[in-house]
């Protein structure tokens, strides 16, 4: 017991230290957790002794994360993208599987290894992608929903693959049918439980927060255990457990209570991934890893971009989706582990695929974190993909000759109050938002609007910035705000520019760049901004006085901040 305590302690301490350094340097955390595993594992100091316990804890981490993913699933949000999710996912999975097999033959892999290689390159990581998209608040964007839909389809195929592994090399129609019946039986149980059994149970349990938490965990463990009994996996059972609770009115409460457990065990999962790496026979591995990594982080995104372009999505949506899915899946690790148990693959194959997962997951964290910047560098080369289809599935409602004098970027929360004020002073305005639900509502109400974000120069070019009198951005993204100021000032020296940030230093930078006013929500608030707009209207002198007062206040607050 003492050894287990020390092992977990070393993992958490090193993960925290490297994570803290990463936060200071503004780096993604997942690669640093993996690095912590390398340092304390066999390749490094070799401080961890009980690998079996750590592996078990990391499996629990995967289970909790997929449980939360299941809780967050709202299938109604996927209804408008069902065509690309279902058909596109099948095309992508089948194509990647065949590419994996062909590349495997070229690399010298044989028999069952080829099937496992095909499966490995076909699936992306639900665990990594959902965590990173949630950190960026992009789960509700158009590309975020497409990603979730594709991951959901991939997870379904992964479940079917795991349930069918025992038939590889010894095909049996009976075993395959039995495996499929188990999967669909479990899905049927999820539906019945979520619809009829759990609502009355959780209605009573919700009277006590402690009992609500314990029953939610009980459901997670029960489905996880059932998954193992049926020959599937803990992760699959936990994911379906979350799905069974997703439509309950208490799902947000459950999610908030489970999140800390999820983060704790997920950290152990990523550290354990680093600890599993053993660098032997490296001269053989390097060319193999280079080729397989290229298949996943180059060919796979190109394939997904092509598929989405064919279905009529613009190049930015296609790129953001494809860049997000450029890694292997935690299900791939489960599949390979199961293959090793069944004797289909050897330890060398297991090590190569684990290292492949580490490399692609690490790379994709940077792709996702800096996807907008990468897109800006590559967008001129991506124009080719838009020629695949003339169908346009992007969301826009705008007159052929727009006459708006105000552009409002970001309608949710603060933007709603600002729009209300603009209506009061009878100003024609155009809304730009990254949430497709909001845009659809605006289209229904005949309000001029565009789906997109302020960091996309292609969107900015559609806003007729040369004719506007005022641009208001409620999106707290300093890079997008700088780009917005630069683009407006280039074509319109007299427009009033109001942007948003959460940080004092960022606010002062934006003033230096040419912003007329910087909204800081925790200092100002949406209601105050609405009142200020009505008061200032288009009196530039009043705005200048307000701007000077605000800069003075920010500098005073900065001094207080540094003093403390």
The tens digit of pLDDT for each residue in 194-210 reads 888 888 888 888 888 88
For residues 305 and 170, the answer to whether their CB atoms sit within 8 Å is no
Average pLDDT estimate for 510-523 = 86
pLDDT (tens digit, 9 = 90+) per residue, 209-238? Answer: 888 889 989 999 999 898 888 877 787 788
Average pLDDT estimate for 92-96 = 94
**Residue 475: how many other CB atoms lie within 10 Å:** 22
pLDDT of residue 75: 66
pLDDT of residue 21: 92
Residue 145 in this model has a pLDDT that exceeds 60:
yes
Nearest to 235 by CA among 145, 335, 149: 335
Termini Cα distance of the chain: 43
**CATH code of the region 64-259+280-388:** 1.20.1530.20
pLDDT band at 100 (very low <50, low <70, confident <90, very high): very high
Domain with CATH 3.40.50.720 in the chain: 396-563
For residues 550 and 557, the answer to whether their CB atoms sit within 8 Å is no
pLDDT of residue 99: 95
Residue 391 in this model has a pLDDT that exceeds 60:
no
Rounded Cα–Cα distance for residues 339 and 347 (Å): 10
Residue 557 in this model has a pLDDT that exceeds 60:
no
pLDDT band at 515 (very low <50, low <70, confident <90, very high): very high
pLDDT (tens digit, 9 = 90+) per residue, 392-420? Answer: 556 777 776 677 889 999 887 677 778 88
Residue 306 in this model has a pLDDT that exceeds 80:
yes
Residue 532 in this model has a pLDDT that exceeds 80:
no
pLDDT band at 106 (very low <50, low <70, confident <90, very high): very high
Higher pLDDT: 552 or 103? It is: 103
pLDDT of residue 498: 92
pLDDT (tens digit, 9 = 90+) per residue, 332-378? Answer: 777 877 777 777 887 778 778 878 888 898 888 888 888 878 887 88
For residues 311 and 393, the answer to whether their CB atoms sit within 8 Å is yes
Task: Output the average pLDDT for the chain.
Answer: 81
Beta strands in 435-482 (DSSP E): 449-451, 470-473
Average pLDDT estimate for 522-539 = 65
Domain with CATH 1.20.1530.20 in the chain: 64-259+280-388
pLDDT of residue 304: 93
pLDDT of residue 446: 85
Q: Which pTM was predicted?
A: 0.71
DSSP tag of 327? S
Residue 560 in this model has a pLDDT that exceeds 60:
no
**∠ at Cα 539 (537, 544), nearest 5°?**
115
> Considering the chain, what percentage of its residues have pLDDT values greater than 90?
14
Rounded Cα–Cα distance for residues 431 and 420 (Å): 12
Strand ranges across the sheet with 517-519: 396-397, 449-451, 429-433, 406-409, 470-473, 496-500, 517-519
Average pLDDT estimate for 177-192 = 82
Average pLDDT estimate for 472-501 = 87
pLDDT of residue 280: 67
For residues 501 and 520, the answer to whether their CB atoms sit within 8 Å is yes
pLDDT (tens digit, 9 = 90+) per residue, 55-76? Answer: 777 777 778 877 877 786 666 6
Class (C level, CATH) for 396-563: alpha beta
245 Cβ contact partners less than 8 Å away, ≥ 6 residues apart: 70, 71, 194, 198, 202, 216, 219, 251, 254
pLDDT of residue 91: 93
pLDDT band at 564 (very low <50, low <70, confident <90, very high): very low
pLDDT band at 563 (very low <50, low <70, confident <90, very high): very low
To which residue do tokens 């708006």 refer?
Answer: 404
pLDDT band at 246 (very low <50, low <70, confident <90, very high): confident
């Amino acid at each position: 017991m003492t050894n287990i305590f020390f092992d977990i302690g070393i993992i958490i301490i090193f993960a925290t230290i490297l994570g803290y350094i990463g936060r200071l340097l503004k780096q993604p955390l997942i690669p640093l957790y993996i690095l912590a595993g390398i340092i304390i594992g066999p390749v490094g100091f070799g401080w961890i002794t009980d690998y079996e316990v750590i592996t078990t804890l990391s499996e629990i981490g995967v289970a909790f994360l997929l449980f939360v993913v299941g809780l967050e699933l709202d299938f109604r949000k996927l209804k408008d993208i069902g065509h690309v999710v279902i058909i596109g996912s099948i095309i992508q999975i089948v194509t990647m599987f065949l590419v994996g097999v062909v590349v495997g033959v070229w690399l010298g892999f044989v028999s069952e290894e080829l099937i496992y290689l095909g499966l490995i390159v076909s699936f992306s990581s639900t665990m990594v992608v959902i965590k990173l998209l949630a950190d960026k608040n992009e789960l509700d964007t158009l590309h975020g929903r497409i990603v979730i839909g594709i991951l959901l389809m991939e997870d379904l195929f992964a479940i079917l693959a795991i349930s069918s592994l025992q038939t590889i090399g010894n095909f049996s129609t009976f075993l395959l049918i039995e495996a499929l019946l188990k999967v669909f039986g479990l899905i049927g149980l999820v539906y019945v439980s979520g619809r009829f059994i759990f609502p009355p149970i959780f209605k009573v349990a919700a009277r006590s927060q402690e009992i609500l938490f314990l029953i939610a965990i009980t459901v997670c463990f029960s489905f996880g255990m059932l998954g193992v009994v049926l020959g599937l996996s803990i992760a699959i059972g936990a994911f379906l457990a979350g799905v069974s609770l997703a439509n309950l009115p208490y799902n947000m409460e459950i999610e908030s209570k489970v999140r800390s457990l999820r983060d704790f065990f997920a950290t152990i999962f990523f550290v354990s991934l680093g600890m599993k790496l053993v660098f032997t026979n490296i001269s053989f591995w390097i060319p193999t890893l280079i080729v397989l990594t290229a298949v996943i982080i180059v060919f796979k995104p190109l394939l997904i971009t092509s598929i989405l372009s064919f279905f009529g999505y613009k190049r930015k949506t296609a790129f953001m989706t494809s860049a997000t899915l450029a890694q292997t899946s935690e299900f791939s690790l489960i599949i390979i582990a199961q293959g090793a148990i069944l004797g289909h693959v050897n330890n060398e194959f297991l090590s190569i695929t684990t290292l492949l997962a580490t490399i692609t997951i690490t790379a994709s964290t940077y792709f996702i974190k800096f996807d907008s910047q990468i897109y800006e560098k590559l967008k001129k080369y991506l124009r080719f993909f838009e020629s695949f289809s003339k169908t346009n599935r992007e969301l826009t409602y705008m007159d052929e000759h727009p006459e708006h004098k105000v552009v409002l970027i970001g309608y949710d929360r603060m933007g709603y109050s600002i729009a209300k004020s603009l209506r009061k002073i009878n100003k024609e305005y155009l809304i730009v938002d990254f949430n497709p639900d909001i845009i659809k509502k605006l289209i229904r109400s005949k309000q001029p609007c565009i789906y997109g974000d302020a960091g996309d120069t292609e969107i900015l070019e559609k806003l007729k910035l040369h004719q506007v009198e005022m641009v208001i951005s409620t999106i707290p993204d300093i890079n997008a705000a700088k780009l917005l100021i630069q683009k407006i000032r280039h074509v319109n020296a007299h427009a009033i520019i109001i942007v948003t940030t959460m940080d004092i230093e960022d606010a002062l930078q934006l003033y230096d760049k040419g912003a007329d006013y910087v909204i800081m929500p925790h200092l100002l608030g949406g209601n105050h901004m609405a009142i200020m707009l009505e008061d200032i209207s288009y009196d530039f002198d009043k705005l200048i006085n307000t701007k000077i007062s605000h800069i003075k206040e920010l500098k005073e607050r900065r001094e207080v901040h540094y003093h403390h």
